[in-house]
């Protein structure tokens, strides 16, 4: 079942982020971010549950991508499914729901970035109809 994220999902999301994406952020900080995003209309969450015990096993997090040089789209900030729940169509369900919401809002599309080494993810996105349009380097300056 798909639904919007709730603060009570923080522990499960923190675990998925750590185990499946390699990003460590503690449960309390994830709770704070969920509260922040719930107050911000530029963020959109969908979360999937396993039918048997309503455990969160995956999520998509996207924000509005609005620039002076392109039409408005969703920008996927995160898509993750727990390893034990992969290959069951959950990621496809999450992306399809995001695309449907984008159509409802009359957005031009959905964009995302994927690390060069994530070949399996690239195949997944291509299977869904996404096209690689360019290569980039990411630059960060921590403050």
Average pLDDT over residues 89-104: 95
Tokens of 11: 């522990």
**Cβ–Cβ under 8 Å, residues 74 and 63:** yes
Question: Across the chain, what does the average pLDDT equal?
Answer: 91
In the block, tokens 């503690």 appear at: 26
Domain parsing of the chain, residue ranges: 2-128
CATH fold label, 2-128: Aminopeptidase (3.40.630)
Average pLDDT over residues 35-43: 86
Least reliable range by pLDDT among 20-24, 93-97, 127-131: 20-24
Q: How far is CA 108 from CA 27, 40, 43, 65, 70, in A?
A: 34, 21, 17, 10, 9
pLDDT in tens, 41-61: 777 777 886 667 888 999 999
Cα separation, 29 vs 50, in Å, equals: 24
pLDDT in tens, 5-27: 999 999 999 999 999 888 999 99
């Amino acid at each position: 079942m798909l639904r919007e994220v709730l603060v009570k999902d923080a522990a499960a999301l923190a675990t998925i982020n750590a185990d499946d994406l390699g990003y460590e952020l503690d449960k309390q900080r994830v709770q704070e971010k969920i509260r922040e995003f719930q107050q911000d209309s530029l963020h959109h969450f969908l979360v999937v549950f396993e039918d048997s015990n309503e455990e969160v096993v995956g999520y998509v997090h996207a924000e509005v991508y609005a620039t002076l040089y392109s039409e408005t789209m969703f920008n996927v900030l995160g898509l993750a499914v727990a390893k034990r729940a992969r290959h069951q169509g959950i990621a496809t369900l999450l992306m399809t729901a995001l695309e449907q919401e984008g159509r409802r809002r009359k957005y031009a599309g959905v964009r995302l970035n994927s690390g060069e080494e994530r070949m399996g993810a690239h195949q997944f996105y291509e299977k869904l109809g996404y096209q690689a349009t360019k290569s980039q380097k990411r630059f960060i300056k921590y403050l």
